[in-house]
Each structure stands twice: as structure tokens, then as C-alpha cells.
């Protein structure tokens, strides 16, 4: 998976539809999430599309599997995951993920129903991280 910094560098050179294509490409690059993990327990509430997030790894190296049934939403999921992937759980629990995503200006680049679930996804990721860090 690409780093958030690498994605941002590419994103800044693109405009309009090219940014959508990059998001779709990022979604395709997400690690496959096995179908049995796509349950009500891993479903992110409040998203216009279905989004699932499942934590793996341990406190030192938190890893997430994630998926969505919508291409652009899946790209947004990939952005969020790239911000936190393979970091220590304690760091992710304290991280300001919204600030990390600010350079992408998602609220102005995408429709509101595509971004409405982002805070819920970030909250879920941070809750998972806090739980794993405390274990």
C-alpha cells in the first residue's frame, strides 16, 4: 500500500476526474478482505455505501483490512487506511486522521454523501486502535 505522502504528492498534480480515477485506483489496491469478515460487526455506520473495516496485527503493528461496495468510496477508505496502516496502535489511537487527510480537501472534491461516513470510519479505526493498545 502506498503511503499517504506518496498519494498526496500524486493527488496534487491531478484535477477533477483524474482525482476520481486515482481514488478508484487506490481502492483497487486495497488488500483483499475475505467475505466472511464483512459482517454487521465490521460494517461502518453512516456511510452512503457499505464499508467494512477489520483490525488485524498487534499493538506494535496495527493492520487493517477494509472494503466497500462502491468504487470511489473504496478509494476514500484506502486513503483513511493508508494514514494509519502498520503503525503502533497507541499512535493510531492518538492520531488526528482528519488533519492528515486535509490536503485532499475531500469535502470540496467529493459530494457530501460520499464523505459523510468518513468521520465514522475514522472513529471506528481509532476505537479499534485504542482497544488493541490497551490490551
Q: What is the CATH number of the domain that holds 120?
A: 3.90.1010.10
Question: If 0-12 CB within 10 Å is exposed, 13-18 middle and 19+ buried, where does residue 36 land?
Answer: exposed
What pLDDT is recorded for position 106?
81
**Domain range for 63:** 4-134
CA distances 110 to 10, 23, 94, Å, are 17, 11, 27
Q: How confident is the model at residue 68 (pLDDT cuts 50, 70, 90)?
A: very high
- Please give the tally of structural domains in the chain: 1
Mean pLDDT of the region 88-108: 92
Residue 93 CB contacts under 8 Å (≥ 6 apart), including other chains: 126, 129, 130, 133
What pLDDT is recorded for position 114?
64
The alpha-helical segments, DSSP class H, found in 2-111 are 4-12, 16-29, 71-84, 89-94, 97-101, 106-109
* pLDDT of 14 above 70: yes
Mean pLDDT of the region 96-109: 88
What pLDDT is recorded for position 56?
92
- H/E run at residue 130: helix 118-134
* pLDDT of 113 above 70: no
Chain position carrying cell 473504496: 74
- Integer distance in angstroms from the first to the last C-alpha of the chain? 27
Q: How confident is the model at residue 16 (pLDDT cuts 50, 70, 90)?
A: confident
Percentage of the chain beyond pLDDT 90 is: 76
Amino acid at each position: 500500500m502506498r503511503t499517504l505522502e506518496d498519494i498526496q504528492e500524486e493527488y496534487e498534480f491531478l484535477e477533477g476526474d483524474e482525482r476520481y480515477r486515482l481514488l478508484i485506483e487506490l481502492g483497487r489496491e486495497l488488500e483483499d478482505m475475505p467475505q466472511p469478515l464483512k459482517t454487521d460487526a465490521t460494517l461502518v455506520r453512516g456511510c452512503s455505501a457499505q464499508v467494512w473495516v477489520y483490525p488485524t496485527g498487534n499493538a506494535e503493528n496495527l493492520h487493517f483490512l477494509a472494503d466497500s461496495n462502491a468504487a470511489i468510496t473504496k478509494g476514500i477508505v484506502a486513503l483513511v487506511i493508508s494514514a494509519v496502516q502498520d503503525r503502533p496502535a497507541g499512535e493510531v489511537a492518538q492520531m488526528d486522521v482528519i488533519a492528515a487527510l486535509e490536503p485532499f480537501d475531500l469535502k470540496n472534491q467529493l459530494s457530501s454523501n460520499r464523505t459523510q461516513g468518513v468521520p465514522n470510519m475514522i472513529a471506528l479505526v481509532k476505537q479499534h486502535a485504542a482497544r488493541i493498545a490497551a490490551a
